[in-house]
Amino acid sequence: MKAGLEQCAGLVQACFDAVLAPMGDLPVVAGMRYASRGGKRLRAFLVMESAALHGIDPVQSVWAATAVEALHAYSLVHDDLPCMDDDDLRRGMPTVHVKWDEATAVLVGDALQTMAFEVLARDECAPDPARRIALVASLARASGAQGMVLGQAQDIAAESAAAPLDLFQITELQNNKTGALIEWSAKAGPLLAGADPSAMGAYARALGLAFQIHDDVLDVTGDAALTGKAVGKDAEAGKATFVSLLGLEGAKSRAAALVEDACDALSPYGTRADALRDVARFVISRQT
């Protein structure tokens, strides 16, 4: 599975390089290259592995994988801005607005979002335009003001709320902020093949929540040198997290139970889905 993640990361990087090569060397394009490098490529792996399970060649699925990583990269660049989370470090490196400036960071995020849709619209992504437009429509729904951006807005609203969020509210917030894009990634395979995406959807919803619970665990137990970003920020800000609501051990066992649910949801695929089960277990064992 580790090898699979690395192979996928290599293919996605080559696709980014190919898309960005003709765009020249202005700071906005240099910033796009910088912001799209590295990371675990978890979303790309979900796209390519769910696609492989449905008989889609990596040469094709790498385009949808690159699209979702471009979209994810845009969200990180804007999230890190001084007016948002105000983070100086990302993956152990200076964030885009620190390395360049805020105006460049705004434009880098804007252009990475556009790139996600541009890549999905290419012939290489799927020969059938109906499949491509289905991917565009679902990615827009997952990432806009009814998906990821809604989650970010709920996160901002929570900061000035009278009371910390309860478990229901924080689950909904995280489902929007992180879960929707993870779900899109796992459903991209069946969507590319014109197959039923419901089993992949159930897998991804459980996985996405486990992922976010483990992120809250890492914010308490993590090592900034390993995670490459500041830790303890949420507790310091007095924000409700899965750890503040469930306790450290409660959060860990909830994440483990969700990973079991995620693995069970893959039963229609039998052992062919073992790489996706491995990645679910990896998500709650990772130190970064």
Positions that interact with a second copy (CB under 8 A) = 22-23, 26-29, 32, 74, 78, 81, 83-84, 101-104, 106-107, 109-111, 113-115, 117-118, 120-122, 129-130, 132-133, 136-137, 140-141, 143-146, 149-150, 152-154, 156-157
Nearer to a second copy, 142 or 258 (CB): 142
Type of residue found at 4: G
- Are 98 and 31 in contact by the 8 Å Cβ rule? The answer is no
> How far apart are CB 114 and a second copy at their closest, in Å?
3
Residue 62's nearest CA partner among 138, 142, 7 is 7
CB atoms within 10 A of CB 244: 18
> How far apart are CB 24 and a second copy at their closest, in Å?
8
CA distances 22 to 18, 110, 122, 189, 282, Å, are: 8, 18, 16, 28, 36
Nearer to a second copy, 132 or 277 (CB): 132
- Are 210 and 284 in contact by the 8 Å Cβ rule? The answer is yes
Residue 73's nearest CA partner among 121, 38, 103 is 38
Nearer to a second copy, 49 or 183 (CB): 183
Backbone phi, psi, residue 115, to 5°? -60, -40
> How far apart are CB 130 and a second copy at their closest, in Å?
4
Query: Nearest 5 degrees, angle CA 183-CA 184-CA 189?
Result: 105
Distance CA 214, CA 217 (A): 5
- For residue 275 the two structure tokens come to 């790489």
> How far apart are CB 161 and a second copy at their closest, in Å?
12
Nearer to a second copy, 104 or 227 (CB): 104
> How far apart are CB 222 and a second copy at their closest, in Å?
25
Owner of token pair 């592995």? 49
> How far apart are CB 121 and a second copy at their closest, in Å?
4
Nearer to a second copy, 33 or 286 (CB): 33
Nearer to a second copy, 20 or 89 (CB): 20
- For residue 123 the two structure tokens come to 């012939």
